[in-house]
Structures are given as C-alpha cells and as structure tokens.
Amino acid sequence: MITGASPQTEASFSSSPSIESRIGLVGQRLADAFRAVVDAMPGGPYRPQDLARKLGIKKDLSSRILRAARNKDPVAVVHMMPGPAPLRQLLQAAADQNVDADILREGEEAVRQFDLLIHLDAGDRTSLDAIISTCLPDAREKFEMFNKQAIYRGMAQLKGTVAEVTVNTALLHPAPDGERLDGVWVIGSLGLRRIRPGAVVHFCSRRLGPSATADPPFTLDREPVEDLRGLLLERFCSSPLPSLHARHHGTTVHYTLGGDAFGQQSAVDLCFAELTPRCMRRYRDATGRLYGPSSEIDIPTKTLIFDVLMHEDVYPGCDPTLLLYDTAINGVADLADRARDIDRLDVTETIQPLGEGVSKWRVSEVPQYLEMVRHVLDMIAWDGERFSGYRCKVQYPIYGSQLYMAFNAPDEP
C-alpha cells in the first residue's frame, strides 16, 4: 500500500509517456523540494554533520539527501536519494523546526510521487535501480558490482569453494603448418580453498569448435596429458605442492584438488599449463566466423585475470571483442553457433590493450605474473618480445558465465 496515494494521482502519474521521463520528472521534483526544505531551515547553510545534529537524524542520511538535492541530473537524483521512509523522517524533523507548511507539503508530494514510481512502475527499489542503470553509467557500475558480489557470496556458500584470484592466460603462436595457431593455456588459482568440509574443488579445460578436433593437449614438454607429469608450474604453486588429479572426458580435462582440508589456513596456489597444437584457424574461413580463447567461471572468485597474449603474426591489426555468455541453459558456447547470441549477457566489462613485450603485462593481484609468463615462453621457446597482449580484468566474475575474446581473423594472404 502506498501511503497517501489517491486513484487520481496514480492514474495521472502512470499516464506519463515513459518510465524514463517519469524518473526525470520525479527526480527534478525531489531535488527542488528538498533543496527548498533545507534552505528553509533556520541557521543555514548546512553541511551534513550540522544538518544531522539540527534535525536529530543520522549523518549518512543527511549527507545522502544533500548530495542528491544538489545534483543537476534528475535521473541521478532518483538513484542517489534514500527511500521514501527516510525522506519522510527528514520532513517530520523539519516540521519540528517550524519549516513553512507549504514547503513541507511540496516535499511530501514529491516523496509520494517517488513512492508511486517505485511500487507502480518498477515494483520495488531494486528493480528501479536496474532500470536507472541502463541510462546512468555510475548507477550501472554500482548496480552490477552489488549483484555480482551477491552471486559470489551465494555460490561460494553453496559450492563450498572460493578463489581469491583466477588467472586464465592464452598464448597464441602460428603453428608450423602456417594455417593454424598453437595455443598455450596457463590456468592459475590463487588462494583456492574449501570453506566447508566435504566440498569438491573442481575445474576444467576444454576444447571448443575447431580446436575440439585438433591434436589433444600436451604438457609444455610436449608430453600427452595422461597424468600431472610436467603439467604443474611448480615454481608458482604452494609448497608443499598441492595434490591435483586430472581426468579426461572427451575433449575436456577435469581437474580436482586432492585432500580434504578446509578453512582459511588451507588455501593453496595452483598454476599449470597446457599446450594445444593447431587449436584454431589463423585465417578467415568461408563462414567468416570469429575465433578466440574463452574463460569459464566454474569457481566463485573475487578477481579474474583473463589475458590473451599473441605473437605479432597472429591476427595482426585485429582487436578483440569481448563476449560474455550465460552457460546455465545451453552449456558452454561456441563462437560459431549464432544461436547462442540469445545467451549473451550485457555487462560493463571491457578489454584493455597491454602493448608489446612481457614487461608491460604486470598485474598487481598476481605478483609473480611476469616471471610465470616468461617461464612458460622460455619452456616453449617463443620470443615474448614479439608478443602483444589484451586483458579483461573482472571483479567478482559471474559464476556460470563464459567470457570470449573474439577476433575477426584476417583473410589468408
């Protein structure tokens, strides 16, 4: 029930041309009304702490209302304002300070329109924030971060496993046949742990599209991945070395952390690398499909570092596009399958060009990152100074999502 809302008020409000325009109208009315209320207070102008003391309200409430009322963007005003109940609290406190009744009535009407906007148009405040996030960049970033954190917390408890940092790095180099690319996939989990007894820590690497029919993965010593010999990058793992079990299932290799320790003190760092020869095409085919590595979020993690590091002869002049897929219904996506476009998620994540040369690829969350990449390049005998990089760094990546860096491959010369 919306306090004080008459059928006439509801009807006239809902007949406005669009919810975007109604948000703007409500925001302007809120800003005008509450500036007038504050200006009418004796002893002003007020800073947040002074206003809170004068009215007997909390400082965070007075600060939020003052910042919102002074904002010039009416949509931002709606986003910044507290809910109707705290606003009415301020109006009641202002009435006790003998603020003019007409000013208070205008404030109450503005709050009533705000209440209608929340409950009749959006349904609740969270849904209103979701609507506002589509047209206000600051609101969208805040909205996405809040909800990604909620997903992380929920899935961490349900799965019983978390990682502080997940590293997925793909290194691409022309294959000897000149038609395809060889790929090295570096997979790392820092601060990986169970948060409750009995939880299974499991993740996998898989080949999709053309790479599914390419050669099977090898260690960096070019040995088949039958067990863990040569797979772990031991210099960059915890000591004692964590136990990791590998199991093949078709074109997927599943990895499971051994042992049964749990809790903060059980956290381990894991890093391993696979070589997949001839994993994707070097040049455009007749279909014009996109190519690129992907990163699947199968462990709740606080930070994802997804890097694609490419030799100068790999897709020269082609910058990647970031594509994010929901895998809940149809599983992992293949870039060639346009039917999966419906599963794409619209989020604010971006790709950062890293430039050429290993020294430019530093990342603060992974102190040994440059040393690790150099180690891999040395083992595979690739010249890192002829590589350039792209990075997608995501805070609280969405569990059950898949990120692609997709390249429009050039025509064959």
In a domain, 140, yes or no: no
Instruction: From residue 277, give the alpha-carbon distance in Å to each of 150, 184, 220, 353, 376.
Output: 39, 8, 11, 25, 15
Confidence of residue 228 (pLDDT cuts 50, 70, 90): low
Task: Tell which of 100, 135, 170 closes a domain.
Answer: 135
In a domain, 81, yes or no: yes
Burial status of residue 3 (CB atoms within 10 A of its CB: 0-12, 13-18, 19 or more): exposed
**Shared-domain flag, residues 244 and 326:** yes
**Shared-domain flag, residues 343 and 265:** yes
Range of the domain at 216: 159-406
Task: Check: CB of residue 194 under 8 Å from CB of residue 262.
Answer: yes
In a domain, 148, yes or no: no
In a domain, 44, yes or no: yes
The CATH number for 309's domain is 2.60.40
Instruction: Give how many domains the chain has, as a whole number.
Output: 2
Residues recorded for the chain: 413
Confidence of residue 10 (pLDDT cuts 50, 70, 90): very low
**Shared-domain flag, residues 166 and 131:** no
**Shared-domain flag, residues 115 and 261:** no
In a domain, 334, yes or no: yes
Task: Tell which of 135, 169, 192 closes a domain.
Answer: 135
Task: Check: CB of residue 81 under 8 Å from CB of residue 114.
Answer: yes
In a domain, 346, yes or no: yes
Instruction: From residue 275, give the alpha-carbon distance in Å to each of 51, 172, 207, 214, 307.
Output: 64, 10, 12, 12, 16
Mean of pLDDT over the chain: 88
**Shared-domain flag, residues 106 and 183:** no
Q: Euclidean distance between the first and final Cα of the chain, in Å?
A: 69
* Mean pLDDT of the 350-377 span: 95
| Percent of the chain clearing pLDDT 90 (strictly above) | 66
The answer, yes or no, to whether residue 15 has pLDDT greater than 50, is no
Distance CA 236, CA 320 (A): 29
Q: Which of 17-31, 170-184, 291-305, 398-412 is least confident?
A: 17-31
Neighbour tally for 265: CB within 10 Å: 7
In a domain, 147, yes or no: no
Confidence of residue 139 (pLDDT cuts 50, 70, 90): confident
**Shared-domain flag, residues 345 and 399:** yes
**Shared-domain flag, residues 259 and 299:** yes
**Shared-domain flag, residues 166 and 123:** no
**Shared-domain flag, residues 164 and 83:** no
The answer, yes or no, to whether residue 309 has pLDDT greater than 90, is yes
**Shared-domain flag, residues 318 and 181:** yes
The answer, yes or no, to whether residue 3 has pLDDT greater than 60, is no
Neighbour tally for 42: CB within 10 Å: 8
Confidence of residue 112 (pLDDT cuts 50, 70, 90): very high
**Shared-domain flag, residues 170 and 239:** yes
Residue 218: closest CA among 210, 230, 206: 230
**Shared-domain flag, residues 131 and 179:** no
pLDDT digits (tens, 9 = 90+) for 156-204: 999 999 999 999 999 999 999 999 999 999 999 999 999 999 888 877 6
With 0.85 as the threshold, say if the pTM is over it: no
In a domain, 371, yes or no: yes
Confidence of residue 265 (pLDDT cuts 50, 70, 90): confident
